[in-house]
Chain A
């Protein structure tokens, strides 16, 4: 049960850690690296709150071991806004559309939408709405989140996520 040395990039910063084999990526990001914007709801892949971007793709960080993230590039919700506090287009759009209430599911939703709208991606409205099926929200009734997703699809692109 020896520890494993890993090195990865989180939100543009190099992070090295010594992790047990059984530690999930979500726990490493929260407890070791301090990115508590990674929310843990169900811890078995159902709720989507822990979604982060690993090498450009939205994945559930509770369903990946930290040791598997060795030499990957990870983005959490903390890495989206500009250093001056300017919100990422996904965050700004969700804010304008009142797409959150308690905010627990929000980081996961934001990371999925950010992954799908990054770079030159021009996701269809349908593909964004389908991707939202991977997130459970108990407050909003989803309508605000859906409006934000539709606006993001229409906008054609966010910026680099």
Chain B
């Protein structure tokens, strides 16, 4: 199918884009990399009056060190982020997660911010932002806001982003050098959305866990922070960690549902297994006898 007619505008500055969004009164859709929006337009599942293409705004691109962390411009292509040395050095788990986002050809267009802002619950980027404690910076003609990723997601494709707001940056706080990364997903084919996935980071200090940030994807209506597991891990000595028990706590925070790919029960069962295995492998601890 072909998209329904719309007005196309391509602003070159953030303030111009915000003005267009404000004037549209909710009738505009932002076009980032287009790897999700374009299918929706082609299938006519989305029929906006105005498409605001933000690909020609230079200020939305690039990755830089800022404010004790890493600032990712939302229009940074997933392929560029995947090859970025700053991310590889400071946030290796981001790079790992990015390698699972879509396919080579879609990563060449798809953007980090597009995925973060869309809020697909089974996608890697929203969960990674939640796990690492990222902050999402947004702007509108009314001003700017900084929203913790953890509070950004309300439901499938539903976020606290207002129709007139544009994501202008995603700020990932630093995790100290040598932190441990957690990542595993189960999908039917490479490049598919995950049936179940877990992503996160741990800091181990003097033989015990001092900081933990872990989130699930594909395990509920939003990316879900594994709060109970994080709390149970912090302060634990590596020798005292019962990976199976922590995995039970982690799954207790989820709200998976049945769909035509898998049942909620399958997701809980597999989630528990991959969580425990990922934790054991990351911390190099043995399975309890």
A positions within 8 Å CB-CB of B: 1-2, 4, 20-24, 27, 43-45, 48, 51, 57-60, 62-65, 67-68, 112, 116, 130-131, 133-134
Contact = CB atoms under 8 A, between A and B. Distances in A.
B51 A44 contact: no
A129 B285 CA distance: 33
Interface stretch (B37-45, B131-139, B253-261): B37-45
A20 B2 CA distance: 12
A99 B38 CA distance: 30
Contacts of A20: 5
Contacts, number: 93
A24 B38 contact: yes
A22 B6 contact: yes
A49 B133 CA distance: 39
Interface of A is mostly: mixed
Nearest to A112: B105
Contact of A67 (B8, B105, B191): B8
A24 B42 contact: yes
B102 to A, nearest CB: 8
A58 B4 CA distance: 26
- Closest 3 A-B residue pairs measured CB to CB? A21-B8, A134-B103, A44-B39
Contacts of B42: 24, 43-44, 62
A116 B10 CA distance: 30
Interface of B is mostly: loop
Contact of B108 (A21, A44, A58, A65): A58
Contacts of B51: 21, 65
Contacts of A116: 104
Interface in B1-58: 1-8, 10, 31, 34-35, 38-39, 41-43, 51, 53, 55
Given A63-B39, A63-B109, A58 B6 contact: no
A134 B190 CA distance: 9
Given A45-B35, A45-B106, A68-B53, A134 B191 contact: yes
Given A48-B103, A58-B108, 8 more contacts: A1-B6, A22-B2, A45-B106, A58-B104, A59-B105, A64-B34, A65-B8, A131-B104
B35 A112 contact: no
A139 B259 CA distance: 29
B6 to A, nearest CB: 6
Contacts of B7: 1-2, 21
12 contacts: A21-B6, A22-B6, A23-B2, A44-B39, A45-B106, A48-B105, A51-B105, A59-B105, A62-B38, A65-B53, A68-B34, A134-B106
B75 interface: no
A63 B189 CA distance: 21
Given A134-B105, A134-B106, A63 B2 contact: no
A133 B104 CA distance: 8
